Amino acid sequence: MLQRVNPGNKSLADYRSIIRRPLYDEIVELAGRLDGARVLHVNATSFGGGVAEILYTLVPLMRDVGLEAEWGVMFGAEPFFNVTKGFHNALQGADYELTVEARAIYEEYNRQSAAALVEAGEEWDVVLVHDPQPALLRHFTEGLSEKTKWIWRCHIDTSTPNPQVLDYLLPYILEYDAQIYTLEEYTPPDVKLPGLTIIPPAIDPLSPKNMALAPEDARYIVNQFGVDIERPFIVQVSRFDPWKDPLGVIDVYRAVKEEVPEVQLVLIGSMAHDDPEGWDYWYKTVNYASGDQDIFLFSNLTNVGAIEVNAFQSIADVVIQKSIREGFGLVVAEALWKARPVVASRVGGIPMQITAGGGILIDTIPEAASACVKLLKDPDFAREMGRHGKEHVREHYLIPRQMRDNMRLFAKLLGV
Domains of the chain as residue ranges with CATH? 3-202+398-414 (3.40.50.2000), 215-396 (3.40.50.2000)
Residue 327 confidence class, pLDDT cut points 50, 70, 90 = confident
Write out pLDDT tens, residues 366-390.
999 999 999 999 999 999 999 999 9
- Mean pLDDT for 253-277 is 87
- Mean pLDDT for 24-30 is 98
pLDDT (0 to 100) of residue 36: 96
| 60 vs 262: CA distance, rounded Å | 46
| 136 vs 109: CA distance, rounded Å | 9
pLDDT (0 to 100) of residue 133: 95
Cα within 13 Å of Cα(256), Cβ side = 31
CA 41 to centroid of chain Cα atoms? 17
Q: Decide if 123 contacts 148 (C-beta within 8 A).
A: yes
Q: Is the pLDDT reported for residue 279 higher than 90?
A: no
Write out pLDDT tens, residues 110-164.
999 999 999 998 999 999 999 999 999 999 997 777 899 999 999 988 999 999 9
- Mean pLDDT for 304-322 is 97
Number of H helices, E strands in the chain: 15, 13
| 43 vs 61: CA distance, rounded Å | 18
Q: Is the pLDDT reported for residue 180 higher than 80?
A: yes
Q: What predicted TM-score, i.e. pTM, was given to this entire model?
A: 0.91
Q: Is the pLDDT reported for residue 276 higher than 70?
A: no
Q: At CA 130, angle to CA 125 and CA 135, rounded to 5?
A: 90
pLDDT (0 to 100) of residue 41: 98
- Mean pLDDT for 271-300 is 86
Q: Decide if 37 contacts 414 (C-beta within 8 A).
A: yes
- The mean of the pLDDT values for the chain is 94
For residue 13, what are the CA distances in angstroms to 10, 64, 317, 338, 400? Answer: 9, 9, 33, 21, 11
| 344 vs 378: CA distance, rounded Å | 18
